[in-house]
Structure 1
Amino acid sequence: MSDEQEIEALIARRGALWLALSALWLEREPREADFARMVREIDASGLTLKELEWVYRLEMSPVMVRYQVSMAGEWRAFDENLLLLRLVRHNRRLGGVRKAVATLFSGLTTMMSRPRFDELVYRLMVARGERPPL
């Protein structure tokens, strides 16, 4: 598979999900419509809760946390093309030592968005008819 085909496949597999989940890192709290979109995209992707956790922690957080900690950054909305480019670059390099480091530091990179992610998981479980933890 060529690099271009690999990139296209990655965007086809994850792009819509990544863009929907990016609302977890916005300056404002996600709205009902944001959560509904996230739940739809997660269901469309067929991810389990465990797989969703890894997408959040390893595929997205190392890139997205940079928006949150940047003093000059604008994160009321994201340039979707630039965001996808950064996520694709990160994910194409995510293996071996990089994956281990991302896993090791994922508690730090998810710290600010974790309450929003937990709310999303709760909503997802309710939508799937699963019993959320109390």
Structure 2
Amino acid sequence: MSDPRREAVWLALSELWLDTELDAGDLLRLARCLHESGYPQAELEAIYALEVAPAVWLNAWSVAGVWQGFDPDWLFERCRHNQARRARLGFRLGCRLLRGAMTGATRADWSGVIHRLEGLGEG
């Protein structure tokens, strides 16, 4: 089942794991996309850590990672799968154990996005 609002968030957040440098303008653009989604910050944090990160985190550790953007169909399928597993304790524990590896390369940019999102006001 398609959820355009959530898919836009998945696509925006996936940019944090691309093999590119994000500048202040990119972080603001991502923050605006998240703001427009209407999701509260706590849900955006969960989407980041439990839906998108498990799908794309290995790209940050790849020698020649994806840099132009993830295939949307592939990304949406992986994120939908992770969304369905979010309530499972084993999945959540696995994400918690691997959080440093999954989000370590994106933490500075993610903090920048959150800072800008707070400046826009929550959805």
TM-score between the two structures when normalised by the length of structure 1: 0.75
1:59 and 1:91 in contact (8 A); partners too: yes
1:67 and 1:75 in contact (8 A); partners too: no
Taking only aligned residues, the RMSD between alpha carbons, in angstroms, comes to: 2.2
What stretches of structure 1 of length at least 5 have no aligned partner? Answer: 1-6, 130-134
Counterpart among 106, 112, 122 of residue 105 in structure 2? 112
Larger RCO: 1 or 2 (CA < 8 Å, sep 6+) = 2
The number of equivalent residue pairs is 121
Distance 1:33 1:66 in 2: 25
Counterpart among 64, 69, 80 of residue 77 in structure 1? 69
Distance 1:31 1:22 in 2: 15
Distance 2:82 2:43 in 1: 18
Structure 2 residue 16 is the aligned partner of structure 1 residue 24:
yes
Counterpart secondary structure, 2:70: coil
Counterpart secondary structure, 1:95: coil
What stretches of structure 2 of length at least 5 have no aligned partner? Answer: none
1:58 and 1:99 in contact (8 A); partners too: yes
Counterpart among 96, 101, 104 of residue 94 in structure 2? 101
2:18 and 2:66 in contact (8 A); partners too: no
Aligned to 1:54: 46
Letter of the structure 2 residue corresponding to residue 38 of structure 1: L
Structure 2 residue 29 is the aligned partner of structure 1 residue 37:
yes
Larger Rg: 1
Aligned to 1:64: 56
